[in-house]
Amino acid sequence: MTVVSMAQQQLLTLYDLIPGGETYHRYLPENLYGLQWWEDKCIIPGMDSVCTVTPATGVEEVIVLREEVNNRLTARRLGSLPHCYDIRFSPSGKDEFYFKVTRRDTLHHVFYNFLRKEIVKVISSGRSYAELAPSGEAVAYTFSGTLWYSTEGVSDVIVAEGAEGVVNGEPVHRNEFGINTGIFWSPQDNKLAFYRMDESMVTEYPLVDISTRIASLQHIRYPMAGMTSHQVSVGIHDLENNWTIYLETGDPTDRYFTNIAWSPDEQYIYLVELNRGQDHAKLCRYEAGSDKLDRILLEEIHEKYVEPQYPVTFLPWDNDLFIYQSQQDGYNHLYLYDTEGKLIRQLTRGEWIVKNLVGFDEKKKEILYTSTEQSPLQENLFRISVKGEEAG
């Protein structure tokens, strides 16, 4: 006879199991999420603290406690930090962390100095869609279809829309083709590229909102198969000179614009134009100051479909070379091009896929990426030189 003791077992609730639940983060794997480097020490964000680990000795040291951060947040009525997993180093200082907290209908971007144990800056925005500038000095966000610009204590409208069914700065094309934002900062914070989506011609579709005490009916615009889809244009706003232009991409009907990227010198916008049949893609370069098409750098045509997922990525040591990701040989791989559209070489090759372009080793002129080369069941980290020679 076997006796099973239930004394140490605890029944999980929906709050424990569902992402967003009040206690969900207690059951996430520890020490696996949000790993990063601070100088020569490894940073491990956890549920209630952030630790540094010295690789040579394995010694851990707690540098931030969630409790102390929440005491500072409470004093300024900024809400609370539910966990430390999403804490990242601030681009504006090596001794500062950056994280987001919400209070009512406001999203606060908080910069916290972990040596002085104080909040050094707060930039507030709407909760819909928000993107932090590369410098960490400003946030662009969208609220009720209007695109806003916010710095510490100051918010201003960039592009306002009064038309029903028109929004600025939100993801478009149903978040396909790698689209997860509608706001794109230039490298030096001087300009913003953004999507303008006109859904006024799209049929409304009813949804029942059960998050309210009494269920209510909400309408979204959703094109059924074969029906009219929304139309998208790409805008550029110059923050210093306060002007806005829209790229002359031609008739937006039944076309997708995706994989938006800036050139390092902010002079050009790179994007992929895709037809609705999704079998013909063009990598295009537009002049950021005049809205004109500069040139079509390359084209992909496939009898079934083309699926662009990633914007071009420039080599940090050479502004005339960029990495283009494509499935043209049947698997997602890395290709090296120059800014004239000339293929330099295919960097990765094989019956496996590149999952993520992780970063660069500028000293060795190498590219870091993860792939399924070892097994389709796992991802491993690899590095390869720009000459196409795998470094291990």
- The per-residue DSSP string of 143-163 comes to ETTEEEEEETTEEEEEE---S
Q: What is the mean pLDDT of residues 68-86?
A: 93
pLDDT at residue number 84: 92
pLDDT at 4 over 60: no
Q: Provide long-range contacts, Cβ within 8 A and 24+ apart, for 384-391.
A: 384/334, 384/347, 384/348, 386/315, 386/321, 386/336, 386/347, 387/345, 388/336, 388/345, 388/346, 388/347, 391/364, 391/366
pLDDT band for position 31 (cuts 50, 70, 90)? very low
pLDDT at residue number 3: 43
The separation between CA 346 and the C-alpha centre of its own chain, rounded to angstroms, equals: 26
Q: Position 246: which residue type?
A: Y
pTM above 0.95? no
pLDDT at residue number 90: 86
CA distances from 307 to 123, 142, 256, 385 (A): 36, 27, 11, 26
In the chain, the largest separation of any two C-alpha atoms, in whole Å, equals 82
Q: Would you say 118 and 150 are in contact if contact means Cβ atoms under 8 Å apart? A: no
pLDDT band for position 347 (cuts 50, 70, 90)? very high
Q: What is the mean pLDDT of the chain?
A: 90
Distance from C-alpha of 47 to C-alpha of 61, rounded to nearest angstrom: 15
Distance from C-alpha of 333 to C-alpha of 330, rounded to nearest angstrom: 9
Distance from C-alpha of 73 to C-alpha of 7, rounded to nearest angstrom: 38
pLDDT band for position 249 (cuts 50, 70, 90)? very high
Query: Can you give the C-alpha Rg of the chain in angstroms?
Result: 23
pLDDT at 25 over 50: yes
Q: What is the mean pLDDT of residues 236-246?
A: 94
Alpha helical stretches, state H, 291-361: none
pLDDT at residue number 8: 58
Residues 118-154 have pLDDT tens digits of: 999 999 998 779 999 999 999 999 988 899 999 998 8
Q: Would you say 332 and 344 are in contact if contact means Cβ atoms under 8 Å apart? A: no
| % the chain with pLDDT above 70 | 94
Q: How far apart are the first and last CA of the chain?
A: 55
Higher pLDDT, 184 or 23: 184
**Residue 378 CB coordination number (10 Å):** 10
Q: Would you say 139 and 109 are in contact if contact means Cβ atoms under 8 Å apart? A: yes
